[in-house]
């Protein structure tokens, strides 16, 4: 009889039974055997594997010290000599999802097979990257058992080195990886067949999933621009030199406020772009190509607007998850309202 596979389970402080938000600063810790939902996971694994250890940390601490916490978590995980790491499920808890993603990336780079579970709109899903398999979970712990079953099923295949099929076949979330396949029918024939099945009300499977976006009604125009305070916001990855807030050039989840107070124009190097989706050389040479401070200062001098708000809000939108960008936009709106801003311009990349 072969030995059971050794599984380590990563949890946050809440599911580890340490406490709620008041304990979100809990340090990276470990306990032998299953803890909390790990007891159910151990039961689901059955005779094939067992949870030999649980590693956990506070979501707040992890969010503020991701690199150090991921390294510490990896060290604790490796103490159990695991065949597999299962992280979560994180459901739709953003900080928990990001922690699961970071732990999985670190373990996967160290050669440990990994799988995590979270809601598709959790920012941790895109943060996990293309090398980490993520199975879908509900947006709350109501879907705990289903998520653990899916994670265990896929995780055991990964731990055994079995061939992993497509996302549709295996039940994990698509990672953006495409493989070439030889189809029996040409594209035109497949497209017509799908249309006909759709018209007849028969089941069909699209070959291209297009996200459905919320319709946003445009706001009323600014009543009088000559009396309005106007702000600039940017998704072009504009940051001070050195990127102090550690924006990522793709799939970024950070945003920050920067000031150009007292400047009528932005000289080269005043701000740089870390955007990974276009050639940033010309923007870095002349930041006003992106932020247009010089143009808005002239409009203020000419009385076309009352004034330009001295702070601009910045993020990098390249490859951003819809839910994450929605959250940033709402946070920006609240911040700008506090600053008495009546109109916002987002210069395009």
The domains of the chain, with CATH numbers, are 5-170 (3.40.50.2300), 225-345 (no CATH)
Distance CA(62)–CA(69), nearest Å, equals 6
**Does pLDDT of 197 surpass 80?**
yes
Q: For 247-283, how does the pLDDT look when each residue is reduced to its tens digit (9 = 90+)?
A: 988 878 889 999 999 999 999 989 999 998 888 999 9
2 confidence band (pLDDT: 50, 70, 90):
low
Q: Kindly report the backbone phi and psi dihedral angles of residue 220, in degrees, each rounded to the nearest multiple of 5, phi listed first.
A: -65, 145
Secondary structure element (H or E) that encloses residue 170, with its range: helix 167-170
pLDDT at 177: 76
Q: How many CA atoms lie within 13 A of 64 on its CB side?
A: 10
SS (H, E, C) 104-156: HHHHHHCCCCEEEEECCCCCHHHHHCCCCEEEECCCCHHHHHHHHHHHHHHHH
Give the percent of the chain with pLDDT over 70: 99
What's the mean pLDDT when you consider all of the chain?
Answer: 92
Q: How far is CA 201 from CA 41, 63, 194, 196, in A?
A: 40, 47, 10, 9
Distance CA(11)–CA(57), nearest Å, equals 7
In total, the chain counts a number of residues equal to: 349
Distance CA(200)–CA(204), nearest Å, equals 10
Q: For 325-342, how does the pLDDT look when each residue is reduced to its tens digit (9 = 90+)?
A: 888 998 999 999 999 999
Six-digit token pair at 163? 């061939």
**What single-letter DSSP state applies at residue 205?**
-
Q: Is the dihedral of CA 114, 120, 124, 128 positive or negative?
A: positive
Q: For 91-118, how does the pLDDT look when each residue is reduced to its tens digit (9 = 90+)?
A: 988 899 999 999 999 999 999 999 999 9
**Does pLDDT of 232 surpass 70?**
yes
DSSP helix/strand/coil, 29: strand
Secondary structure element (H or E) that encloses residue 231, with its range: strand 229-234
Angle subtended at Cα 160 by Cα 13 and Cα 118, rounded to the nearest 5 degrees: 35
Q: For 4-46, how does the pLDDT look when each residue is reduced to its tens digit (9 = 90+)?
A: 999 999 999 999 999 988 899 999 999 999 999 999 999 999 9
pTM of the predicted protein model: 0.62
Residue 121's contacts (CB-CB under 8 Å, 6 or more residues apart) are 92, 139, 321, 322, 323
Across the range 276-298, mean pLDDT stands at 92
Query: Per mean pLDDT, which range of 86-95, 155-164, 317-326 is the poorest?
Result: 317-326
Six-digit token pair at 63? 């969010």
**Across-strand partners of 311?**
259
């Amino acid at each position: 009889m072969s030995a059971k596979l050794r599984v380590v389970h990563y949890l946050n402080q809440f599911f580890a039974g340490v406490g709620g938000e008041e304990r979100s600063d809990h340090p990276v810790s470990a306990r032998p055997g299953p803890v909390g939902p790990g007891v159910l996971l151990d039961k689901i694994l059955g005779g094939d594997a067992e949870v030999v250890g649980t590693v956990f940390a506070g979501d707040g601490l992890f969010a503020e010290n991701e690199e150090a916490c991921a390294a510490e978590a990896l060290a604790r995980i490796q103490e159990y000599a695991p065949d597999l790491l299962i992280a979560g499920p994180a459901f739709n808890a953003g900080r928990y999802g990001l922690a699961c993603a970071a732990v999985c990336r670190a373990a996967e780079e160290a050669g440990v097979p990994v799988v995590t579970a979270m809601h598709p709109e959790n920012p941790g899903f895109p943060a996990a990257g293309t090398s980490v398999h993520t199975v879908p979970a509900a947006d709350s712990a109501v879907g705990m058992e289903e998520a653990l079953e899916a994670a265990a099923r896929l995780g055991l295949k990964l731990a055994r080195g079995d061939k992993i099929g497509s996302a549709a076949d295996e039940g994990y979330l698509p990672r953006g990886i495409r493989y070439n396949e030889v189809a029996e029918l040409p594209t035109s024939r497949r497209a017509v067949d799908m249309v006909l099945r759709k018209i007849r009300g028969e089941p069909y499977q699209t070959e291209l999933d297009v996200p459905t976006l919320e319709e946003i009604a445009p706001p009323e125009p600014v009543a009088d621009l000559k009396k309005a305070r106007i702000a600039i916001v940017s998704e072009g990855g504009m940051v001070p030199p050195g990127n102090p807030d550690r924006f990522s050039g793709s799939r970024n989840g950070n945003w920050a406020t920067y000031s150009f107070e007292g400047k009528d124009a932005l000289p080269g190097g005043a701000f740089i772009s870390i955007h990974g989706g276009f050639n940033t050389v010309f923007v870095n040479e002349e930041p006003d190509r992106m932020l247009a401070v010089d143009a808005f200062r002239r409009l203020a001098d000419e009385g076309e607007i009352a004034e330009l708000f001295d702070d601009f809000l910045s993020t990098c939108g390249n490859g951003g998850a819809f839910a994450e960008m929605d959250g940033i936009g709402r946070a920006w709106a609240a911040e700008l309202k506090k600053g008495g801003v009546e109109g916002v311009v987002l210069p395009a990349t």
